[in-house]
Structure 1
Amino acid sequence: MKTVWNSLRSKFGRTMTGVAIALALIAAVCFAMLRQEPEQATPQVAALSGIASQMRHDVTPWTHSEKDVSQLTRDIRDHNIAAIGVSRDAMLVSTVKDDKYYVVDHNGAFSNALLAGELKADGSAGYQLVWLPDAHIRTGLARWSNLFTILRDVFSLLLPLLMVGGLSWFMRREMRGGAQLLAKAPVMRFDDVIGAGEAKAALADVQAWLTEPKQFTGMGVRAPCGILMTGGPGVGKTRLAQALAGECGANFIAITGSYFSAKYYGVGIQKVKHLFEMARKNAPTVIFIDEADGLGKRTDTGGGPVEAETNRIINQLLAEMDGFESNEGVIIVAATNHPENLDEALRRPGRFDRTIAVRLPDLDDRARILRFYAKNLKTKGDDIDFDQMARLTTGLSPATLAMIVNQAGLVARKSGKSEVAAAHFIEAIKIARIGDINGAERALSDDERTRIAIHEAGHGLVAALLGTGVLEEVTILPRGGALGVALITKMQDKHLYRETEMRNEIQVLLGGRNAELLMFKEASSGAAQDLQEASRIGLDMVSKYGFNSDGDLFSLASLPQQYAGLQLKGAIENTNELLRDLDDATFALLKANEPVLRAIADELLETETVPGETVYRLIREHAAAVNAVNEVLAA
C-alpha cells in the first residue's frame, strides 16, 4: 500500500497532496457529525450544532477579534475550544465560555496541522470542526489578500484575451495604414507639368482608357494594366502620376515600395489585397507606387522567412495585377530610379505593359521651370535672364531647379537685400553645382593660392581656346570640396558626342596640370580628380565607342562583368597612349598662349574671380598681338 501511495504521489505531486488533504478534511467533518446518533444528542452537542450553523450563515461575530495561533494552541490544550470553523483564509474559534475570535491562516498551514493531529488536546475532550468553504474573513490583511486573489484571477483570464485582441488590432492597423484615397481627386493637369513631352504622350492612352473605356472595349482592345516610369531623382515622375489622375478625374492612392513590408508575418500579403480591394471599390483609381524597386526580386537562396515573405508579397502583387480578378478602372503607375532591381515578372506584358523614360528638361523647359518657381519671389524687374540661367543649369532636374530658385531667395536675404537679383540666382546655381563658399582660402599659403590660380587659369584658358562650352567665370574661391573652379556651361543639351568633342573635354581636364608644369616645372596633387575623370572618359572612348588608334571596334561592355576585367589590360594601354597624346597637345596649346595664362592668374590673385568675358578678351588681344608680329616678320 505504501508503495502504491508513493507511486501516485510521485506521479501527481502536489495535486494528489491537495486532494488527500481535502478528503481528510471531509472525512474529519463527516466523522465528527456521525460520532453520536442524532437521537442521542445531548444539550452540549445541540449547542455545538447551533454554533456550526451560525458559522455557516454569518461569520461577523468572529471577525471582531483577531488572535494568533499561540492563543489557539493554549485553548486547545486547556480544553477551552467548543468549535473551530476552517475557511480558506482563516480559522473561526468558539470557546467553551462563548468567546469568539479568528486566526489568520492564508496558506492553510495551521488548518493542515489541525487536521494532521498535531494540535491535539491532552484529554479526551474534543471540539467540533466545521468546514466553511464559502466564508471569507474580510478584516485586516485577509480582506486585502482576498481582493488581490480576485484581481489576480480576473487578470489571469483577461490577459490572454487582451494580448490576442491587441495583436489583432496592431496587425489590422498596419494592414490598413499607409494606403488611403486622397480626399479629393488631384487638380493637377498635364499642362501644369513643364516638359516631359514624351512621357505625356505615352500616358495619353491611359487617360483615354480611364475617361472613355468604351472606345477600347468596343474594339476588343485591352487597356494597359500598369505603367512603369523610369528616370533620375527629381525629374517629375510623381507629378506626372498626379497629373494623370487629375486629367481623368480619378481617385488617387500614393504609396511607396516599402509599404508592403510589415513587422508581422503575413501582413504584407493582406496589404496587397486591401490595396486592390480599395482601388476596385473606388474605380476609376490610379495607384501610384513610388520607389517601386523597394519591392525587390524573388529569390530562392533559402534566406529564411524574410526572403520567403518577400517572395509571397511579390507573388500576390503579380496575381492581383494579372490574375482572376477584374481590374477594370484601376491603373497602376510605378516609378523607380533602378528598373533593373524590379522582378522580371513584374515587367512583362500584362503587368507593367509600358515603360516610360522621364528625361531631364531641355534648355527651353529649364527656362520655363525657373520662371514658374520665380513667380513666388520678389525679383528685381527685368534684371534676370532666365535663358542664361537655363544654360547654366544644364543637366539639372526640375527638383534641383526649384531648390535653386529658393536658394536664390536665401542668398538675397543673407546679403541684406529685399529683392532677388540675377547675381543671387548665379550664386545659387554655383551652390547647387559646386557647393557653397567654405572659407578655406584663409588656411591657404601664398604659394598654394598662386598654384591654384595657375591651375584654374589653365582649365579656363583651354576651355575657351577649344570652345568646349561657354566659360562663365574662373575663381579661386573654394567651394564644396574644390579649391577653385572654372565654370563652363553648354550652349545646348547634348545626347551624342563626337570623338573630337570628347578629346577636347579631356584636354580641358588636363589643362590645370599642364599649366602647373609650364609655370612651376612640376605638378601637384590638385590634379588627382582631373586625371580620374580624364581616365574614365578615355577608357570609355577606347573600350566602348571604338575611338582608338588601333581601329579595334570590340566593346568590353558586351562581356559579362566577371570576364570584362580580364580584358582591361589592352584597353588601359590604349587609354594611356591616348592620354599622353592629348597631354602633349594641351601643353603645346598652353605654351603658345603663356602670356594669357599669366594674365588670368594675376587677375585671379588680385580679384579671386575672373569673368569669362575677360578671358575671351585676353585671348583676342593675344591673338591680335601675335598676328601683328607675324605680319611684321613677313614684311
Structure 2
Amino acid sequence: MDIVEFLEIVKSMPPSNSKPRPPWKLSLPDDENFMTLPIYIAFCGIAAAARPWNRKNAKFNLILCLSEEGCIPVYTAAARVFLNGIGNYKVGTPPFVSDWGGRYSNRDQFEVLRKEQAIFLREPKKELDDEAKLFGDAVVDVPLRSRRHVEAALKRFGMPISNRDVELLLSDPWSRLDKAFQEGRSPALALQRLRQYPRPGTPTVASVAKVAVPTLADMHGYGPVVEWGNNLARDIEDYRSGRIEWADVDDGVLLSGPTGTGKTTFMRALQISCGVSIVAGSFSTWQSAGSLDDFLQAMRKAFEEAKSKAPAILFVDEVDAFGSRNIRDHNRAYMTAAISGFLELLDGFHGREGVVVVAACNHPDSLDPAIRRAGRLDRHYQITLPDKHSRLSILKFHSGIELDHSQAEMFGMATEGFSGADIEQLARDARRAARRRVEVLSGTHIIAQLRTLTELSEEIVRALAVHEAGHALVSIEIGHGEVMEVKISQYRIEGKSGQLGYVRYGQIDARPKTRTEYLNAIAVCLAGIAAEMEVFGRFADGASGSEDADLNRATELATMLEGALGMGHTLLVEGSQEQLERLRAYHPEFRRRVHDVLQNEFGRVKSIVQARRATLDAIVERLMGRRTLSGEEVAEIVRRYRMPTVSLAKLPRRSAGG
C-alpha cells in the first residue's frame, strides 16, 4: 500500500474522538491470560500495520499480508487480541479472524459481510487477485518482526534484554517460538529450551570452533616477513617446475620477537602457503640427546630429514641459545663445537639443496655474528606485537566473530599488548563459555573474557579530546609533521595506566634538522597542556611522569638543544644522556636555559591556541562524537575555521564621506 492509498483510507474513516490505543497496553483481562511472548511480537506488527483502524468501535474489513510462512497460528491469536481491544465483544463471541486462501476462505468471506470488524491473514505464497482487493477495505503489508518489537516484548514480560536473546527471537521460525512459549510456561524457561535445542542448520559453537588452518594471507600485522614468505612460495613453485635453480631461492632467514608474538603460527602459515613439509628442531631438543657427539648427530639428523623431504622447511627454534663463541666461560669448548657444527650444516658442505632454514629467537643480538653472515641467516625480520586492526583480524580468524563498533573499541583497549597467541587463547575461552551456556558464539562472549574495563565519564573524555585536539591543531598550524589520525578512548583498563588518546603523525624524513624544527617539536609536545589551560584553566598529570609523556619529551628535546646539538647558547656539547641530566640537576645556569626554551615555546603555543580557539572547539566536538578522526578531517576543520588575514601592503579605501 503506497502513501496515496493510505491517505485515501484515512480520509474515508469516520471521525472519532477516541484516541488510538497504544499497542503495548492491553485492555482486557483475557488478553493477559492468552498472551505469550511471540504473540505479543506479532501483535506489535499487526498494530503497526493497522494503525489507522486502531480506534474503539472502528469498522473495517482488512486483509493483512504477512511476510513469513508458517506464522498463521501466532498471528491469528495476535489479531484476536488486537480486535478485542477495539471492539465490544460478548463473552464467548470471539473476534473474526480468518486465513485468506485457507480451507474455509470462501465461507468466511460470506460470513464477514455480517461483521463490523474482520481481519484476514494472507501468507506470502497465497495468491491475492484483484477481486480480493475489491473485497477488502484495505490490503496492508504487516512488517517483519523487528528488534524494537522483540525488545518491547522482553520488557513487557519482565525479561532482561540481551543481544543473544533478541537475535534468537528474530531468527527462529514462528513454529518453534509458538511451541516453546506455551501458556503457563515462563518466558525464561522457554528461551532456555530454544537455546538448548537449536534448530537444524543453526551455526553451533562446535562448528564455529573448527577454524581453518592459517595461510600467509591470514597473518595480519606481521609486516614485511609476509611478503618474504609469499616470495618464497613463488620461488619454490618455480624451482619445482624447473624455471629456476635452488641457488636463486632465498633459503635462510632469522625471525625474532618477544615470546608469544606468533613465530610458530607464522611457520604453520608458511608451510601451508609453500605446500611443503616442515621439520622442527631446537638447541634444547638436540642437546637433550646427550653428549656433544649426540648433540651434533641429532642436529645433522634434522637437516638430513628435511633434505629427504625437499623442498622442505627446517624450523630451528631458540637459535639464540647457541650463544656466541666470543663469550669465555667453562662451556666455551662445547658451545664452540656446537656453533661450528651448525655453521657447517648451514653452509651446506654436505649439501642442503631444497632445504629452507628458518630460525627463530627472542634475542638476536646474542647470536654469534657468523650465524648471521651472508649466505647463512643474513636476512632478519622482527615480529612485533600486533596493532589494534591486526588484533581484530586475528580474532576474526580464530573465532569467526566480527565485533560491532562499541565492542571493537573495548577489545582494542583491553587487548593492548596482546600477542596473537593471547588472542587465540581468548577466542578459545570464549568458545568454552558459549558451550557451557549452550549458546552460539557471539561478540558478547568475546567481550566477557576481556580484562575489566571502566567507561570514562564525559568530563574525562572531553579533557582527552581537548588535549589531543591541541596537539593536532598546533602541529598543522606550525607545519610540523603530517597529522594522520587523532583518537581518544572511552574506556580505561582497571588497575592499568595506559594511553587514553594519541595523535599519529606521518613518517618524518631523515634529513638533518635545524633549531627551528626542534623548537617546533617542543611546541607540539606542549600543545596538549596549552589547550587544557585555555579551556579548563589547568592541566592534568597525564602530561608528565613516563618517558614518553609530553613534558618529559619536551624537556629532553630542550636539554638536547642546549647541551648536545650545539644549537643553544654555546657550540659546546656534552656526551651521554646521563651527563645532560646531571647538568640539568646540578648546573643552575644550564637548567635556566632549558627552562627558558620550554617557557618561550609554551607561550608561543598558548598564543596559537587562543587565536584558534574556535578551531580547537570544532575539533573537540567532532572527536566527542566520533572518538577517531583522520588527518584529512582535522585539516579540513582547520581550513574551514582559519581566519582570513588582512594585507598591510594595501590599506582599505576610505569612504567618500570619511
- TM-score range normalised by the length of the shorter chain: 0.3 to 0.5
Instruction: Determine which structure has more spread, i.e. the larger CA radius of gyration.
Output: 1
Greater share of residues in helix: 1
TM-score computed with the length of structure 2 as normaliser? 0.44
